[in-house]
């Protein structure tokens, strides 16, 4: 996988970045150089975490694209929509911008309170705080589930019921380190393996089969 470089950064980075820069400036002014340098380093880490690389999206009809950068940590044969569930774990070093995996219409956005267990654990899908976006497609419903983790405590989801969405478009992020589940219809066929490294809007996760 080629490294990505871009100056585009998600707007959610601004409060963290400005706060750390302010701390660095104050520490520098009173001669606390180690603190100033640590704060500047933290500001650079914030920019890295919130980086938002431009990507060339080539969505094929009936193909489910990865909604997140990370590593596939679970492939369950059957979930709430009757088909497989694919879970991707995002470390703090991954790009955290989430992208829509399929083209369709948003029918529901549900915010579910819960715990903050480690996101790579299987139980995180059921017990952690999460946001479920349901997208209606010609093949049936596809759910995107943004899941919090030990450190990730805030989910940003910019979609609303009724929104028309296109595969690969940006729609949110999770701060900091997290997990994304995709719940598919019964006819879907998974095309990735456990441990696969994914890129949001680029890596195919599954094929949906014949339209209903």
178 noted as active-site residue: yes
My answer on whether 42 and 144 are in the same domain is no
Same-domain status, 23 and 98: no
Q: What are phi and psi of 49, to 5 degrees?
A: -65, -40
Active site residue: 48, 91, 138, 178, which one? 178
The residue to which tokens 């871009």 are assigned: 6
Full strand arrangement of the beta sheet holding 140-147: 164-165, 104-112, 130-137, 140-147, 178-185, 82-90, 70-76, 197-198
Which whole-number Å values give the CA distances from 134 to 55, 57, 81, 109, 173, in the listed order?
24, 21, 10, 7, 16
97 and 122 fall within a common domain: yes
Same domain, 151 and 186: yes
Task: Tell me: do 90 and 141 sit in the same domain.
Answer: yes
For residue 18, the enclosing domain spans 11-49
My answer on whether 111 and 168 are in the same domain is: yes
Same domain for 179 and 107?
Answer: yes
* Structure token digits, residue 4: 């990505």
Q: Is residue 3 part of a domain?
A: no
The whole-chain average pLDDT of the chain stands at 84
Nearest-Å Rg of the Cα atoms of the chain is 18
> According to the model, what pLDDT value does residue 122 have?
63
Q: Do residues 76 and 156 share a domain?
A: yes
Q: Are 47 and 15 in contact (CB under 8 A)?
A: no
pLDDT of residue 141: 92
* Structural domain includes residue 108: yes
Q: What confidence score (pLDDT) does residue 206 get?
A: 93
| Among the listed residues 71, 89, 199, 88, the one whose alpha carbon sits nearest the alpha carbon of residue 151 | 89
Q: Please write the tens of the pLDDT for every residue from 100-146.
A: 999 999 999 999 886 766 656 666 667 778 899 999 998 989 999 99
Q: 44 with 67, same domain?
A: no
Residues 104, 25 share a domain? no
State how many domains the chain has: 2
Asked if 155 contacts 144 with a C-beta cutoff of 8 angstroms, the reply is no
Residue 47 φ then ψ, to 5°: -60, -40
Q: Are residues 24 and 84 in the same domain?
A: no
Q: For residue 37, is it within any domain?
A: yes
Tell me, yes or no, whether 129 and 84 share the same domain.
yes
Residue matched to tokens 């479920």? 132
* Between 173 and 50, the higher pLDDT residue: 173
């Amino acid at each position: 996988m080629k490294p990505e470089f871009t100056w585009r950064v998600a707007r959610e980075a601004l409060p963290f970045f400005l706060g750390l820069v302010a701390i660095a400036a104050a520490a520098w002014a009173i001669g606390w150089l180690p603190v100033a340098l640590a704060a500047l380093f933290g500001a650079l880490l914030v920019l890295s975490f919130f980086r938002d690389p431009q990507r060339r999206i080539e969505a094929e009809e009936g193909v489910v694209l990865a909604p997140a950068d990370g590593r596939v940590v679970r492939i369950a044969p059957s979930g709430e929509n009757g088909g497989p569930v694919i879970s991707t774990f995002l470390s703090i070093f991954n790009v955290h911008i989430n992208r829509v995996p399929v083209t369709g219409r948003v029918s529901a956005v549900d915010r579910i309170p819960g715990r903050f267990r480690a996101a790579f654990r299987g139980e995180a899908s059921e017990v952690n705080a999460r946001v479920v976006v349901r997208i209606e497609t010609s093949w049936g419903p596809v759910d995107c589930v943004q899941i919090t983790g030990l450190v990730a405590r805030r989910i940003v989801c910019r979609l609303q019921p009724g929104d028309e969405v296109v595969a690969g478009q940006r729609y949110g992020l999770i701060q900091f380190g997290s997990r994304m589940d995709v719940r598919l219809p019964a006819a879907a066929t998974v095309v990735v393996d456990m441990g696969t490294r994914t890129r949001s809007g680029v890596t195919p996760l599954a094929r949906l089969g014949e339209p209903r």
